[in-house]
Chain A
Amino acid sequence: MAALYAGYTLRGLAPAQNRPNSGIQGVEAERDSDHVVVTDSTRCVTLYKVSDQKPLSCWTVKQGHTLTGAAVYNARTQEYVAVSDRKVIRIWKEDDIILDKAFKATVSSDVWRVHCVAGGDPVVLFHRGAVRLLDSLLSAPQQPIEEVLSPEEAISWSTNIVTESQQFVIFTTEQKGDHFLYLQRLNPNSLQRYHLEREEPGLSPLSFSVSYRDKHIRLLYLYPNGHVYESVVSVRAPVPEEGAQALPLPRSLLLSLPVGEGLLQAASAQELDEAHVAVVGVPHPSAGSGKDFLCIWNTNFQTLQAGKEMAGKIYGQLWSFWNKLFIPHGKTFSVIPYDCPKSSLASALGKQRQVKKDESKAPTSVPSWNTLLHEEKAHPSRTAETRKTTAPVEEVQREVQLLLSRTDTQDLQTSVGQLASTLASRSLNDPAFYTPSSLVQLVHTRYLCHSVCPDLVLLALERKDYFLCQLCLQFFPDIPEVVTCACLKVFISMSDVDAAKVNLEPDSVFFMEALIAQEHEAGLNGFSLADEEDRSDNLAEGGATAQRDNEKASAAEQMCPVGLHKAVLLNEILQTAYFDSFLLPHLKDLSSQDVVLFLQYLQFVYLKFSHDACKPTQGLRSPSLTQVMDWMGLLLDAHFTVLVMTPDVKDLLLNLHRFVKSQVRFVSELGKIEGSLQELDKMALKRDVGQYSIEIIELF
């Protein structure tokens, strides 16, 4: 699972209460993983050593000038490049102390930003969309700059990436509510324009993030309604001719984040790796509607991996370099180290055992007064989950009802799982606490499975909540054999009187009632207990005569050996999935009376089914004939020696033996007509078309 570690403060933010922005214009990577250059929105560029939380140098432009573009570090020449007053490009080295004495060049058009990433050359992006390499621009600073964008179009965001072969400048623009993506290749230069699909009217993307993988540029963007989309552009895509129309940019919905009340105001999403996205300014799904959270989501499995409350106002700014997230919030500018191991389904579900992190590797956290104070302040508004651990039964039931009445099913999955396991563990710990109706509701959502809350079935057994047991057996696909066996043991040893009191699912009860109701009807088709040894091979003639002799004996065996409700519960057991070699050892734990009773019941069901072949075709959920046979075989396998030694069971075993014989005979009869059936199959084949034919076809 991805994890967020304890953060620390890089610096405070200037205390301007009602300012909408954080005062930070940009953060850029510097020489190594421990240095960043921070440009504030006015005049100042600061170089920080991150692990020391300490500024190393600071450069300021003169009063009256402002920095209009974040400073970048050019690792090749070890120089810093920044833009002041829109038109002046400044370049300096670390030893330069006074910025105004360093190199300056005035260009002929307004600069939007200077970009530089490791491995690439610095590029200058102008307000009107033109792009120049810094070197070529400085060779003739006053060169005319063309206008790429139409007059109403304005750049909203830009970045720069370097692939194996090429450097790209990517920027997005807005024009009357439409958003466009530009992909500018350098050397050779070419420009592609894409049109972003419109989201709901009036919504424009809050943040963009771009990454390059497998020869494709992936653009990730977040809308105020919490939708995170990904669009993929191939770097190899053929270059359309100049002046071509904007291509539509296909997108795929990666995440649909919960937004709480209203739309997101200031939020940002940043791709961390191929499976993880960091989002700031979005509510935590289990903590009310406060939007001051930093979360890591897994996009493959749509799961929340880690979350952290950020104290104070969120400005919707987020940078990430070298496994650290840089977030301005409230009055602080925090650095939060994170870790995103390779994602797997197991880790996404939280089933993978966490490898203990090396203590030395874990990032050192330095507590700061600021966060300590804020954390304390944040405590009263803790999550609903914590409240629930003490809430009375009624309140829990109401809350669950509320939760389930929500319509967005996406994150319901995770929350239902969490909720059920919390409720189950609390009920196990606290004998006074039990919320049967809530649990039944949760199971009914079908989002649960046994591995999500392993305690639930056992809890139901302990509390004698057989209805819940039945539901679990019906809906959970992954009940382990040991639990199935435990249920079987409880069900079979339960007295019929107790069982009759239990409220069970009406459909299954109805099925069983119908089965028992035709108890004394005569067998209609196929074989019955009449199949005695002396019976002739002639099936048609033998049945009727022999049946009369055995009518008495069979009447006794056609009584249902267990009560109605008990039978219903046993049916559920029969229908669960199992693997026989895992089931066998547990079956051996059953007492011999239980085994005999169960065998009698199985025999009863078997007889019913073989008497009335159309039975299982009804729409109701019912065990199939093969399931009954398999269970019989398993039980006999597990207890054969004991059963053979028990005198009372002799009749039962003899009867079962007769079933087997009749089955064998049936199969051999089928074998006899197999040849004829195959011939029928061949006849159905399409007639062979010869070399030539004249046919009539009709066209509609």
Chain B
Amino acid sequence: QVKHPVISLRFVFIFIVQMGEFKVHRVRFFDYMPSAIRAMVFSTRTERLALARADGALEIFNFSDNYFQEKVMYGPRRVAVEALCWVGPRLFSAGLNGEITEYDLENLRPRYTVEAYGGPIWTISVNSQGTLLAVGCEDGTVKMFEVLKERIQFQRNLDRQKGRIISLSWHPSGTLIAAGMMDMIRIFDAETGRATHRLLVDRGAGASKSKEVVVWSIAFLSDHTIISSDSAGKVQIWDGLNGTLIRTHLITKWDVLALSVSQDESSLVAGTSEGTVVQFQFISSTVDRLDKDWVRTRTFKNHSHDVRALAHTETAVVSGGMDTQLVVRPLLDKVEKNTRESAMRKVSFPHRSLVCCAKKAGLLLFQFPDHLELWRLGESDGYGKLGGSLPVKRGPEKLIQLKRKGEDHICCSALSPCGGWLAYSTVTSFRLYRLQNGSISICKVSKLPKDLLPAHQLCFSTNSSKLFASSSNSSVVVVALNELECKYLGTLKAKYGCRQPVHQLSASDNGKWLATANTDCEVHVYNLDKLKLHCTVPVYGSCPTAMAIHPTTSNLVVVHADQQIFEYSLVKKEYTEWSRRLQKQGLHSMWLERDTPITHVTFNPKNPAHIIVHDMFMFCIIDKSLPLPEAKNVLYNQMALRSLPEPDRVLHSHGFKICKDFQHLLCVSLLEDHSLVVVERPLLDIVSQLPAPVRQKKFAT
């Protein structure tokens, strides 16, 4: 296909001049460690998955939008959430501190907390009508709370039992409730509060005979079948009408920690301490028989550690546990094969940036839940050959480790481009610091405007004179900074009715514009001179995951959760020519099939045609001046191109320079001196820091 040799030669020229070599700071000293998954619950109505981690963080994933992590919240204190529950669009959690918390999903904080007065709460469950919440407490009571419009109110206790209530499940009719306890299952009449049945659960064989068996999870089906999973490794099926055991499946030597039943009650999954997820299906055991039975059908092994939380969606099994990864495993009989939906997904990293890079100062800010780290990058003066590493003249240096005040998690942080300001926010406090780089001194700025709380996202202007903080109801607070003083300038408000939090902020280099994106997929651009709304980018059906305003052309580049890229001209208030061309031709299918979102967009100041984006597995320099990759051709990445002979390389190259040399990326940024910073966190490093998994007998050991 050598149609235009002249043009091809010109491209070669452009490559050499414009792409060429990059100096890369390869950073692996960010010891980011995700926390174990403790509980999850899926809402079929909203297609949202709520997930609780061991450090108290709550995450909301939108399954209808490419599993995008829309929201991250932190509870008031570092409290382990033990159970979660959706009531319509409302989210409740309960934990071992004995409190029930409802969350404000718009302001990303707890709305209120109710003490249950029953000791630690192990489980929470709502009836199918959404009117009553039942919680299972350490003192052996099942407590009912009425769900009111604004609050929940204690209604009654069911008969108090000896021993703690570990798991609860309502019968779909709402008249019965089954409770998993130590060594037994109780069925209560929800109206009278009396216990009607007592089902005794066998203990494990051998040495564990003397140990109480814990009924970790329970499910009450509409045909009065009760399914329980326990610490002796059993999944048991009971007849809830007569209180008899129908069948026992011994699936592991260890605990079966979680159960989840599909909406149509034809399939259920059980998660074990070995990291396996076992599927059971309600089918007839032989083809010609009509009577159905719960039959063990599939075993998935996607985890190395305990599976603590499970959700059975209509088409997939979602699991998570000690190994911190969220795994979405589609059931191949429910989805079309070899499509995007049938691919397994693992969510290992948060879908937002935990790294802030001061481009001018060469500093990196790492955000941990309880502290911040500020590093200065190293230097090198040597010249090395391609593909090799340079001698490091000055190694990287940790300048500051800043512990957060109080008990709350750090929910957002920012470092100004000049490296002179540092800000972070928790749910209850906001702090701003002045840094003196040369002498490494830090001093706190007092007398901050009150409007800064709660901040969901922070951003400094390019000249470090302003700080933007996204606040409640989609608004953004603008604060002016000068030497040791901080003045409230105003609040940017979107149109009436925007309530979702802003999760992306981007200021233009000339200080004229500020773009915001919220989880309702709206992108607003404000004029900072007038502090007024400039324009609203046409709403696209997928949530923006990263965006940035080009320093010279003032075009806004937005990347969405479905991997689409748009470029919007703020001057003309329309999509740019390149963006239209991209949409017309369509992105390459290999690009669209990537399963991690783009989390950062930046530009090359030397070449205005370059857009630098990255996801977890690659970074890509999009050169707008080059032809787009064509759908019928293979999308060559840089590694593949390098292996090609020189003439083929020209034929196969395209405008998307995808580099996969660095993997498990948390940040890719371009410093002012034209060198790239990549922050890697290899998954192997994370795995090596996990506790040892349960011991399993391997052959010949």
A216 closest partner in B (C-beta): B336
**Chain A positions 320 through 342: 1 when the CB is less than 8 Å from some CB of chain B, otherwise 0:** 00000000000000000000000
Q: Out of B27, B336, B388, name the residue touching A692 (CB < 8 Å).
A: B27
Q: Which of A678-700 contact B (CB under 8 A)?
A: 689-700
**A697 touching B21 by the CB < 8 A rule?**
yes
Q: Is A214 an interface residue (CB 8 A)?
A: yes
Of the listed stretches B85-93, B130-138, B321-329, B653-661, name the one at the interface; the rest are far from the partner chain. B653-661
Beta-carbon contact of A690 and B28 below 8 Å: yes
B380 contact set on A, CB distance < 8 A: 694
> Which residues of chain B from 1 to 50 have any CB-CB distance to chain A below 8 Å in the complex?
15, 19-29
Flag B639-662 by CB within 8 Å of A: 1 or 0 each: 001100000010001000101010
In angstroms, how far is the closest chain A Cβ from the Cβ of B276?
A: 26
B641 and chain A: residue at smallest CB distance: A700
CB A236 to nearest CB in B, in angstroms, measures: 8
In the bound assembly, the distance between CA atoms of A689 and B621 in angstroms comes to 24
B390 at the interface (CB under 8 A from A): yes
Q: Nearest Cβ in chain A — how far from B41, in angstroms?
A: 23
Is A78 located at the chain interface by the 8 A CB criterion?
no
In the assembled complex, B204 has its CB within 8 A of some CB on chain A: no
Complex: A692 Cα to B31 Cα, angstroms: 13
Give chain A residues whose Cβ lies under 8 Å from the Cβ of B25.
692, 694
Residues of B within 8 A of A696 (CB): 21-24, 384-390
List, in ascending order, chain B residues with CB within 8 A of A694's CB: 23-26, 378, 380, 389-390, 392
Min CB gap B376→A, angstroms = 11
Interface flag for B236 (CB, 8 Å):
no
Residues in chain B near residue A689, CB distance under 8 A:
26, 28
CB distance from A238 to the nearest CB of B (A): 10
Structural contact, B23 and A700, CB atoms closer than 8 A: no
A575 to B649 CA separation, bound complex (whole angstroms) = 44
Contact of B336 among A234, A693, A695, A699 (CB under 8 A): A234
Q: Are B661 and A697 in touch, CB under 8 angstroms?
A: yes
- Determine which of B20, B26, B29, B395 lies in contact with A699 in the assembled complex, contact meaning CB atoms within 8 Å: B20
The answer to whether B392 and A698 touch across the interface, beta carbons within 8 angstroms, is no
Report B331-371 CB contacts with A as 1/0, cut-off 8 Å: 00100100000000000000000000000000000000000
Within the complex, the shortest CB–CB distance from A481 to chain B, in Å, comes to 33
Q: Do B28 and A695 touch (CB < 8 A)? A: no
- Specify which chain A residues have a CB less than 8 angstroms from the CB of B641 in the assembled complex: 700
**Could you tell me the distance in whole angstroms from the C-beta of A689 to the nearest C-beta in chain B?**
7
Indicate if the CB atoms of A695 and B21 lie closer than 8 Å: no
Expressed in whole angstroms, the Cα–Cα distance for A214 and B331 within the complex equals: 13
Determine if A692 and B396 form an interchain contact, defined as CB atoms under 8 angstroms apart.
yes
Cα separation A19 to B387 with both chains bound (whole Å)? 80
Give B575 Cβ to nearest chain A Cβ, in Å: 22
Q: Determine whether B465 belongs to the interface, using a CB cutoff of 8 Å to chain A.
A: no
**Nearest CB on B from A251, distance (A):** 14
CB of B576 within 8 A of chain A? no
How many Cβ-Cβ contacts under 8 Å join chain A to chain B? 80
Q: Are B19 and A699 in contact (CB under 8 A)?
A: yes
- CB nearest to A165 among chain B residues: B264
Q: How far is the CA of A691 from the CA of B396 in the complex (A)?
A: 9
Contacts of A700 in B (CB 8 A): 15, 19, 638, 641-642, 649, 653, 657
The proximity string for B residues 381-412 relative to A, scoring 1 for CB distances below 8 Å and 0 otherwise, is 00011111110100110000000000000000
User: Contact flags (1/0) for A395-419 with B, using CB distance below 8 Å?
Assistant: 0000000000000000000000000
The A-contacting residues of B in range 616-638, CB under 8 angstroms, are 621, 638
A214–B337 CA distance with the chains assembled, in angstroms: 14
> How far, in whole Å, are A472 and B517 apart by their CA atoms in the complex?
72
Residues of the B chain whose Cβ atoms lie less than 8 Å from the Cβ of A697: 21-22, 24, 386-387, 659, 661
In the complex, what residue of chain B is closest to A237 when comparing beta carbons?
B336
* Chain B residues closer than 8 Å to A692, beta-carbon distance: 25-29, 378, 392, 395-396
Q: Which chain A residues border B396 with CB–CB below 8 Å?
A: 691-692
Chain A residues within an 8 Å CB radius of B395: 692
Q: How far does the Cβ of A696 sit from chain B's closest Cβ, in whole Å? A: 5
CB contacts (< 8 Å) of B387 on chain A: these are 695-698
> B390 touching A699 by the CB < 8 A rule?
no
**With contacts A234-B336, A700-B15, A700-B649 known, is A695 near B26, CB below 8 A?**
yes
Contacts of B653 in A (CB 8 A): 700
The chain A residue with its CB closest to the CB of B19 is: A699
Within the assembled complex, what's the spacing in Å between the Cα atoms of A691 and B661?
16
Min Cβ gap B457→A in Å is 29
Interface contact B392-A693, CB-CB below 8 Å? yes
**Whose C-beta in chain A lies nearest to the C-beta of B638?**
A699
User: What are 24 contact pairs spanning A and B, CB under 8 A?
Assistant: A690-B28, A692-B28, A693-B389, A693-B390, A693-B392, A694-B23, A694-B378, A695-B23, A695-B387, A695-B388, A696-B21, A696-B24, A696-B385, A696-B389, A697-B21, A697-B22, A697-B24, A698-B19, A698-B22, A698-B642, A699-B15, A699-B19, A700-B641, A700-B649
**In the complex, the 6 A-B pairs of residues with the closest C-beta atoms, listed nearest first:** A699-B19, A691-B29, A694-B390, A693-B389, A694-B380, A695-B389
Chain B residues engaging chain A, CB cutoff 8 angstroms: 15, 19-29, 333, 336, 378, 380, 384-390, 392, 395-396, 621, 638, 641-642, 649, 653, 657, 659, 661
Known: A693-B390, A699-B15. 18 other contacts (CB 8 A): A234-B336, A689-B26, A690-B28, A692-B378, A692-B392, A692-B396, A694-B23, A694-B24, A694-B25, A695-B24, A695-B384, A695-B389, A696-B384, A697-B24, A698-B20, A699-B22, A699-B657, A699-B659
